[in-house]
Every structure is written in structure tokens, then in C-alpha cells.
Structure 1
């Protein structure tokens, strides 16, 4: 199986208690996000994907979920890291109309129904927190044993 890394972002409008969601062409609703590209960190991917999908500049706060799945039909072993983030700049707009059908803010109950893979739902994500630290790049000595 090929490893696929995915970064998702939970963006909550706290005053309205609404979650920003993306309807991807052919695959339904999700949080904004997508595949981590070669040479990119999960955090960089989260920021890039949100900008590409929603036209928003965000600041990543912390990790709220780690999910893993095997997609047998595609031969993928996927690792999903979900961040909570806040909007720093921009207005919601679909940039890639060939990839995104719709963007909307939805109430937490609807978000839970559209994303059943988060155990405990969005409320649990909002209470969850794990720090994220990119530790840099290292060169491992050729005689190093793991």
C-alpha cells in the first residue's frame, strides 16, 4: 500500500458556532484540506490547501485529531492530521471551480452528520488539543540502527 498524508483544517466561527466545510467534486463534504506534497510539512499543506480551496489565509493553532485508514480499492494507507485554525485574512471564495462545488458554514450538528469519521463529533475536536512541532531536517548517519 502507498502511504498518503492528508492535512485537514477545522475553522470555527465561534460567534455563530459554524464550521467551514468544502464540497469536493465527486467526493462529498469535508473540512478544507488535502494531500501533503513532497517536501512539505503537514502544517504547510494545511495552510496551502485552505488558501487553494477557500481563498483564506489561516494560522494553524494545534492538532485536534489524528485519523488513519486503509483504502483497499486505491491501495492507500492514509494518515489524516486535523488542525484547528483561525482566519487571519481573506474572504471565502471558491478558487478552483473544477475541484470544489461549494463552500459553506454549517452548524455543528450538520457538520457531525457530514463527517461521521470524527468520534465524538466536532464538539470533541474543539476540546481536543495536541501541540504540533516541526523539528527540522536531519541527516541520519549511514551506520545508524533504528
Structure 2
């Protein structure tokens, strides 16, 4: 696997400087230390994406941190139910991109924290959102694919998503 990122993006979050090396990828099989799994959940008509509204962070993709002993698929299933009360066709999900996440320590050195992966998945079952057990997600909504950038506001990552998302949706 080529480990030259498509681009690098830095930002501060929770008073910690973070760096993300972003890679478009159709295959996550060689990745180790996967710490987060998220999904662009696509409606059946392939025109909308589900986003979750977090009380502090605004609109986000559904997903989250892998728990001890969980597979990537287990994490994705659990997070989609918890945060959106939806299911996707797990066996048909498409790898989209991943980011190698780093935090800067007190000496200024970047410390690798793990790989965060993003899938595109086709909606299987959409139930009414009730409540996120963690309390962070306060609402769920569906947005036209062309409107994602104004809701996500992820800079260069958002630009990459806008440029390539339809190509990956067509693979579903």
C-alpha cells in the first residue's frame, strides 16, 4: 500500500494539536490499529447522506471508537444503531478513505494514535432516532449529497469528499 497521503490536514481540538494524513483507498485490509470507524450512510435512492448532530461538534458522520474485542463491522453496526438507529448492508460497504491520526506531545513530536476509517454504506433499515446512549447525538437528518460541505465544513477533507463521493456511491 502506498503510504503517501493525498494531503495532510492539521487542527486543534480539545486543546490538543492534531494532524491527519488523509488517503483515498478502496481497500483497508492491510491497515493495523484501527481506532475509529465512520460511515457515509446513503439512502436507497442514492441522493442523500445521513448526518448526526452532536451537541458540541455540530453535524458529523455516524460512527465512533472501536471497543475492546470488537471487529470493524461490529463497531460500525453498534455505532450506526446508537447514533442513528439505522442499519446498512455491511457486506456491501465500500472503503472510501482513511486518516492516520497524530497528536503533538509536549516536546513537539507527532505521536501516531491510530487509523480512522470511512466507509460508504447503503441504507438497509431506517428507524426513528430515539436517543444516543452516550448523550452526544441530539438529532439525525438526511441531506442532499451536494449540500454536505456546508454542513460538515471539513476544509480540504470536505473538498476531497465532494470530489470523490459520487464515484464511491456508484460502487454500492
**TM-score between the two structures when normalised by the length of structure 2:** 0.62
Change (3 A) 1:122 1:80: farther
Aligned pairs (5 A) from 1:103-122: 103-113=140-150, 114-116=152-154, 117-122=157-162
Q: CA deviation at 1:115?
A: 4.6
Alignment size in residue pairs: 126
CA distance in 2, matches of 1:127, 1:67: 19
Q: Aligned equivalents of 1:41 and 1:119: distance in 2?
A: 30
CA distance in 2, matches of 1:11, 1:54: 10
TM-score (norm 1): 0.71
In the aligned structure 2, how far is the partner of 1:31 from the partner of 1:122?
A: 14
User: Are 1:83 and 2:113 counterparts?
Assistant: no
5+ long unaligned stretches in structure 2: 1-32, 106-110
RMSD of equivalent CA atoms = 2.6
Question: Which of 71, 75, 85 is matched with 1:45 structurally?
Answer: 75
Note if 1:127 corresponds to 2:152: no
Aligned position for 1:102: 139
- In 2, Cα distance between the equivalents of 1:128 and 1:89? 20
Moved over 4 A (4+): none
Post-superposition shift, 1:67? 1.6
